[in-house]
Structure 1
Amino acid sequence: MESEPEPQDDDEHIAEPHTPSAGDVLLAIEELWPESLAEEWDAVGMVVGRPDKTVQKILFAVDPTLDVIEEAVAWGAHMLVTHHPLLLKAVNSVASTSFKGRAVHRLIESQCALVTVHTNGDSAVGGVSDVLADAMRLQDVEPLAQAPNGLPEEGIGRVGVLAKALTLGEFAESVFKLLPAVAGGMRVAGDKDAIVNRVAVCGGAGDSLFDEVQKSEADVFVTADLRHHPASEAREAAMGGRPYLIDVSHFGSEWLWLTPAAAALRNVLLDQGFDVETRVSTVNTDPWDFVLTPS
């Protein structure tokens, strides 16, 4: 009499996750942050690296500075994903006599790929401005400037409403607490006792979006790198009223995106049967060291 076959453990049929190539990671990045969403002037995608090389560790950072690259190398990262491009402006040499040349040489010599997710990471669902809007608990969120090649919910910036109206002072304080500490702090233009409810946000430099902010009927616009003339003209046009302005650190406004971005990439790769380790850089790449203010 033949013996009954032993029951199979379901776990034996589950394939063990395996290590992806850089090419596999690039496909996952494209799924999350399609290059078609990048602005025409931008430079995104792989900057340094071989698509066939395996990737086990991925470090996320805002800027590809030498300190960040050294952090990636010390950790043994096989890929560095940064928001800002290393080679946005054209160069005719990557000799190690320049910062950019040293960065390229260090990455290649350490076999660490470099990938840029910039304005495609701004426009995509779950991108930089979405993360800012989520952190501020905005509701009924929609793009400030819709992406020409994207879905209705994709585009630069976001606008939405607060769960509860606040004074400008209270709202500014809540934004300040969300962001990492930087030397420049945060600047606010407007009556601190004015009530705000509808909020426009744009991670990074957003003073090219004042027309869109005005059309959105936002009470306040939160962005970075507000230059004197655009900000002055916007305040003059508003005659001291709405939209009020909150000028935050460029680095800080985009730093919030790193943790959810790293988690999202790891989850997509896990769904595809790949196992990687992701980490967010601990280097503060805000360029300012200290600030003087009136006593």
Structure 2
Amino acid sequence: MAPTATYPEGSQAPKVKSVHTPPPPKVHSFDASTASCDQIVQALSLCGGCIVRGMVPTEKLEQIERDTRPYIQADKPWTLDDFFPPETRRVTGLFEKSRAFIESIPANKLYQDVCHAMLTDVLQGYCGQKLENFVSRPQLNTNVIFSIGPGAKAQELHRDDSMHHNRTPEITPDEYKIGRDTGLGCFVAGKKTTRANGATRFIPGSHLWSHLTPPNEDLACYAELEPGDAFWMLSSAYHGGSANTTTNEERLVYACFMTKGYLRQEENQYLTTPLDVMRTYPLEVMKMAGYQASLPYLGWVNLEDPIHVLVDESVTGKLALQ
């Protein structure tokens, strides 16, 4: 059965009157082996989310679960507030815990291509009389695994860009421009994900709303996935984990977010991952994790690009800040 985004009344979007966008836009599905970066960028721009089928192969899913199941079992219920139901278990710090996770999900080429297309920021500015292009490339915001057990209540619908204080005015679909969003998330199903066991619910088109517009549950659809399928979503879109109403099913989700290079990371990779572990990854993955300067001057160490904390110039070449 192919994954779909299902609405409460069936497969069609409900006919509702809204001051935002009439009616909710279609949630597109793509095959990871054939989809292009441009197709996905267009779908995200119009809807705020899409499904990417077959993103992670079965053998990689199995390896990720072998790597991380002991950490899932060892996690304790969240006690800071009621944002995570007590039936939810989480795993973070995944550079050290599962190389298969890093290679298959945040470092996935198609995902990274789309992140670069939507989150790279270029600023023109003068240095003396010379006009420069200052490039800030995306960085990892967070890696996390969610195991949601039977009986878990639904999360409140929320926007993940609130952490970056992203203030957005209401716009029409034609007015959407790359740069409005601060992040792009990816939720991969480790097991079959259904509405009954807590599939992510999401409001298509809510990335076009004002940040002060409250969510409307009647507009939500459910990202139902087969193992290895992914739901990709802009950080400005309203979403939340749903209630697990089953008696014996675990909803297992492998998630990551990328964000703009000049923003603070949600998960502090510099303190989470030992340097000796980070050095075992390819250069581009280290940069993705945040070991790269956001030009012209942001994030330096000893007035040099932070990648030199991990590797020397014989590997990277001289990387001068502008």
Normalised TM-score (structure 1): 0.26
| More helix per residue | 1
What is the TM-score of this pair, normalised by structure 2? 0.24
